[in-house]
Structure 1
Amino acid sequence: MAGEWSEPTTVRTPRPRRRWPKRVALTLLVVLVVLVAYGVGLYFWAGSRLQTTDAFSDYDGRPAAGAGTNWLLVGSDSRENLTPEQRKDLHVGNDEGNRTDTIMVLHYGDNGPYLVSIPRDSYVSIPGYGKNKINYAYSVGGAKLLTQTVEQSTGLRMDHYAEVSFLGLVDVVDSLGGVEICVADGGLHDEKSGADFDGGCQTMNGTQALQYARARYSDPTGDLGRVKRQQQLVDAIAAKALSPGVLVPPWKLIPFVSAALDALVVDEGTGIAALANMGVKMSDPASTTTVPVGSEPNVSGVGDVVMWNESEADQLFTALREDKAIPTFGGN
């Protein structure tokens, strides 16, 4: 009808379709590509810096390979690359030559992981040198003779070898921002190692961690007490290194990996993948123990030594060789 009012027609403009799902997918894809590239790059960078040594030899009577995997882990206390100032700060003295005060076997397979300490004063047969303290093998023949000595003494064939130095240990702990160590009631005070700690849990830097792990003269259990502190420090380093706070941020992970690679020397057949797997296994061992000790006599021309409890030691090494649960002994 002419002149009748009608409501104006509203034309709706279509709203643009949201593209958030596509954007989120694209963002995640980019992040994934960056992470993969970062991981691959880190892997090859680490592999190019890995230091190796000739640690194994095929000799007559070498033990056959058992079940599972065995690592020989060694702490070298050589002062060769330390400045006079570093020797003083670390309280390591000025002894010359190559030595080791830490010898451990890490085993894993269907059972484990198990971390077994071998006291450095263990009185064993050293090929070509008669009977002596086990660390004497390292001082006269390096990694290769020490590996052979450990294999023949335990009946275990070693698959991998890894060695860390004094200064390397300090740098690794410092790269992690320190590690938490719980000191027994009564504290630990050892003038020779520099250890001066009250009882209780505390964060130790690299120098303090070394002092703690090397202390033995103020400990009534001597070297056996030091072995337990070394195991404790290894556990603390592995746990901190595999924590999200270190593994996730590149600014934390790269300094740690760099320090670890500078500190470590491995056998020529060990690569980054095997090394990383070893680190994972060490972070949560099913059991940490020491070769059972029978006595600690004084041997003429050698000094105070550690004699293994042969029966119990044989049970332990047999279980490791067969990848079975290790027995528990009263002294461990």
Structure 2
Amino acid sequence: MAGDRPANGGPGEGTPFGWLYGKGRSDDEQPQDGAEVTERIPVQPRPDGYRPPEPTAVRPAVTPPRPPAPAPTPAPTPAPGPPPGRSGDGFWSRRLRRPRFYIRTVLLVILLFVVYTVAVPFVTWSSSDQVAFEPDGSRPAEQDGTTYLLVGSDSRADLSAEERRRLTTGNPASELTDTIMLLHTGDGPNVLLSIPRDTVTDSGAYGVTKINAAYARGGVPLLTQIIEDETGIRVDKYVEIGLGGVADVVDAVGGIEVNAKERLNDKFAGINIKKGRQTLDGAQALGYSRSRKFSQFGDLERVRRQREVVAAIGDKVLSPWTVLNPVRWWKLNKAVPRFFVFGEGTSKVDASRWALSMSRVQLTCTMPVTDTSANFWDLDRAGPLFEAIIEDRTDDITKNQCTGNGIAR
């Protein structure tokens, strides 16, 4: 039993596990320092003179330095995108970023404009009528330069009743040429010479009559023959302008500016304007170039105004705005085939040269006459004038030979 066991026996004796704690040991076996045997650390015996080594300092572990971290790469700045509502990846967006696209576009527009400007006269003038103008029989020999016979016909055949009322043209059966001019171009200044309608000439089989009647009696060839016989100047080209042509061309270029030397109130010509500088529309310009009954110089003043109208039209035709305005350019050339007639053999290039020459006239003259009736020419002054044109020496024409109304200075 447990109470009968020795207190400090070994295993199986005394108090359970007493042997583990030194119970029952002799005094020699007890630790001298009072500690339990189990509480002491056994010490290995040391040889005599042994000294423990000095403690060695523990060198701390050295960690190799880390390479520096690479600098962060900045994020690329995004390209500005297209405006809201537009696609930046579209075809036109890519094209518009290329300067060559702009250059090619501008060149294409310029090319199309040039083609249009050149093509319009060729298209519209292709329907213009051509008439025979060269007379039979002997004619002056070929001469230097080019001389055009310009005729303003008062024919109303192509005008409607409404147009005749608007332009105050009167009798639709009239076939007179109240406007007769010679335009000479060559090495010298261009000369525009008016021949008064009342000039008395020999019409051959038709007898002695006023020159404006030749057109009605023998047509253009008879008129050409009379002028060549009387002046010795060879006519190279022929251009005829109807009454409506003047009005249409003036309206097409937006009106013309004239400087009226006197007040004109002529109900027969349909004109009522004040004296001085002013802008005329087509109907007014036609009346301005036709009126002759209420002027001191009669027909001589009328032919001066005709040349003024021609020069004003030329200035407008060659103005940049007329050429650059497609609508105005079309209207101007559209008026040509209806009211303009050219002589046989006149090409479109010839017609263009004539139009250009009309805008570059340096000398404007009325045929030298003896008096205001303008029935007879002053041959003393007219002779040298004819010779200068025949020989293409227009630089030699004097102011006394070339006057505005044909009267000697």
Report if TM-score (shorter chain) is over 0.5: yes
Q: Is 1:328 the equivalent of 2:399?
A: yes
Partner SS for 2:399: coil
Alignment correspondent of 2:108? 30
Alignment correspondent of 1:300? none
Shift of 1:223: 0.4
Shift of 1:39: 4.1
Which structure is larger by alpha-carbon Rg, 1 or 2?
2
The structure with higher relative contact order (CA 8 Å, sep 6+) is 1
Q: Distance in 2 between matches of 1:88 and 1:32?
A: 43
Shift of 1:206: 0.9
Q: Distance in 2 between matches of 1:25 and 1:203?
A: 41
Q: Distance in 2 between matches of 1:95 and 1:35?
A: 41
Contact 1:46 1:272 in 2 (8 A): no
Shift of 1:53: 0.9
Shift of 1:166: 0.9
Alignment correspondent of 2:205? 128
Contact 1:178 1:206 in 2 (8 A): yes
Shift of 1:49: 1.7
Higher mean alpha-carbon deviation, 247-256 vs 13-22, is at 13-22
Q: How many residues of Structure 1 are paired with residues of Structure 2 in the alignment?
A: 323
Contact 2:150 2:181 in 1 (8 A): yes
Alignment correspondent of 2:73? 9
Q: Is 1:105 the equivalent of 2:169?
A: no
Relative distance call for 1:87 and 1:45 in structure 2 (3 A) is closer
Q: Choose which of 145, 158, 163 in structure 2 pairs with 1:86.
A: 163
**Which runs of no fewer than 5 residues in structure 2 stay unpaired?**
1-64, 80-93
Q: Is 1:276 the equivalent of 2:340?
A: no
Alignment correspondent of 2:57? none
Percent of pairs identical after alignment?
A: 39
Alignment correspondent of 1:67? 144
Partner SS for 1:294: coil
By percentage of residues, which structure has more strand? 1
Partner SS for 1:295: coil
Contact 2:154 2:177 in 1 (8 A): yes
Q: Choose which of 127, 134, 138 in structure 1 pairs with 2:215.
A: 138
Alignment correspondent of 1:208? 284
Contact 1:315 1:327 in 2 (8 A): no
**Which runs of no fewer than 5 residues in structure 1 stay unpaired?**
298-304
Higher mean alpha-carbon deviation, 21-30 vs 35-44, is at 35-44
Q: Distance in 2 between matches of 1:13 and 1:290?
A: 81
Deviation readout 1:10-50 (Å, 9 max, x if unpaired): 47699999964422332243224423432453253134222
After TM superposition, the runs of 4+ consecutive aligned structure 1 residues lying more than 4 A away are 10-19
Partner SS for 1:328: coil
Report the RMSD for the aligned CA atoms in angstroms: 2.4
Higher mean alpha-carbon deviation, 195-204 vs 288-297, is at 288-297
Q: Distance in 2 between matches of 1:47 and 1:166?
A: 18
Relative distance call for 1:18 and 1:86 in structure 2 (3 A) is closer
Whichever residue aligns with residue 206 of structure 2, its letter is Y
Q: Distance in 2 between matches of 1:196 and 1:32?
A: 44
